Structure 1
């Protein structure tokens, strides 16, 4: 809906009505503050006046806040905009796509820039029925107003009230069963790991679980750098991973309040005090380790884009776009390259913190059907290496009909062990097995002398 350029007062009323319609489907909105008429004319030629633009921003921000939507504000900058437009087509949609990556304001600072007094604004809509905070959260969880549940849960998470959240989970378990309680906790964790934070104005905790090969942990920094250079990350999302490795159980143990604090630390560039990395140089104690970090979202919707185009249309049946397909293909290529370059490690998908355990469980379930005897092969080689401490171990593979034989020797020629597997259980075709085995142990073509 384009603003009424002939009637500024009506343009303000149109914006307020549109906010009421769109707010239930929004979590955060970016407004642009124009410091003067010259900047407005450069960036939004032919639009409403500076006075009307600022009045629209105030009306939109007031209603968004009342509906529990996070309001972010960026300052328009003529010089930065001109530099950005140098390589952009001079179209209205591209002009609206400009973002200030130097500073995004939120909270009272954002409202002051818009000319609003935070103390005079209406309080967010909330459930006013009697009961403890835990009772209110349970009632909202069981109700149909998802926006009200999110807003109240966010208030409790931001205040660090883990005790109230735990009490609500127990109450849901008593009234609705353990499965419902697990759903509530998952919803709380998902809310806690995203927030209006960081330089982009919106940040999320993300993790990359990695299935580990035998031996020392892979180089976390090298993995991160290769992922960033792979082309597998969507445009507009900035990934920042911590330099060390983290344990999956340490991430799973974080409460919603702790998750939010870790997010705020990472978004502000601090090392999270509530999440300790695996000690440098320590051998892995589990089959998986996790790269952890924060993802900054530079695609936060701008109000003018929403007013012009409405809410983005979802792909039918969640069908992937060509861009999604290209990113998925790039990620798969990176996974294969990482496997070869880092001793047989297998990076899983980049997921929110709350989904790390589910991602690993799904991988193990798929691996059970697809990897066949690979875990058995890994264990076989690892046991042989332990039986020959200080000696180099080599592997002689041999295919014979429907069977595949592996024989392990020391480099000096001492026989260590043999194993025979059915070809149907191999994780890759027979011809590719020597290359796969090389990720674990040197392969030879004949028994060592």
Structure 2
């Protein structure tokens, strides 16, 4: 970890003068389609904080959107990256392979759910990994149709935009999209009131009527951008069982929910679901670009030689970082820490909810917790309140992200290395932002 003091500190207003100057430079040179959540520019980060160019130290409830799970400057990751960079930065695994790629695949085989024989392919981003999972499922089954779910987010490439449910800002104006993608209703307990079995029957009926037997069903065990929706108990096992019974590849997109974020290595494990293919990214490599598809050997090996890969896929520096992340999670007990964070954060948020009827739901697992904001009485989504509260938290020195199909969900994704003191301080600031937004 850096020597960055683990305490919130506001040296200037947010944003400060140096950040404002940098934002002007960004506006002049960076495409306007690249938005930013925070109006500040980072200069250092570590543990549970981010320091900006004006000397403000912000509590990090975002982890770079669930990427820096072990902290932004984890010591083992820094050392592994340094050692690998001194050895070599690239050869292309498809030209001159190297051991660290194989070692990451071995660790993925060990850690992902199920004791079956597994294979992996390493690529660069979550979207790229999802696309490869679909390719593999199509090659294995000989079928083309793919089912995704309401509120899903799977990426920004053409195929993953088709799988993604939300139009703005992800899909609007970018079509036409890849064909043979179908959508089924997700279990959304706060909104639909169904138990897991009933929600699964509804989804399966839609799939059977609209598609028949697809190549794959792609689902986030806990949705990310769609609103941190945790399906009702029994929903995921029922969908997985239907897939097994019908020869459909069950693909768990664990890009945001994987690598210890929910208190298990993978969110699928909370209901003992064993996916056919698991997609990982984000927290896998401590901030370096790496993603993977890991799955049953017979499915993964259905693709012809040369059909999978990419120039940068499984870059040696990213692989070294991933091995260090896995070591850090295990050596430092971060799965248990995620569960501790869940108890602390959920307890605080439920008390806040009891005093504020605009908080319709508190949900999530581990260090992946959300509040859904609504208009009291009607329960209709309140996106404006989410905007006001998140902005208010930021001016108080706390990084808070929003999400959800309706834009009305606040999501908390602190690094697992954050201290209880920072958590409490950040939640105090969030509560202040709610009080300040009473008239919003």
**What interval of TM-score do these two structures reach, taking the shorter chain for normalisation?**
under 0.3
The structure, 1 or 2, with the larger RCO (C-alpha pairs under 8 Å, 6+ apart) is 2
Higher Cα Rg, which structure: 1
Normalised by the length of structure 2, the TM-score is: 0.22
Name the structure with the higher helix share: 1
TM-score, normalised on structure 1?
A: 0.22
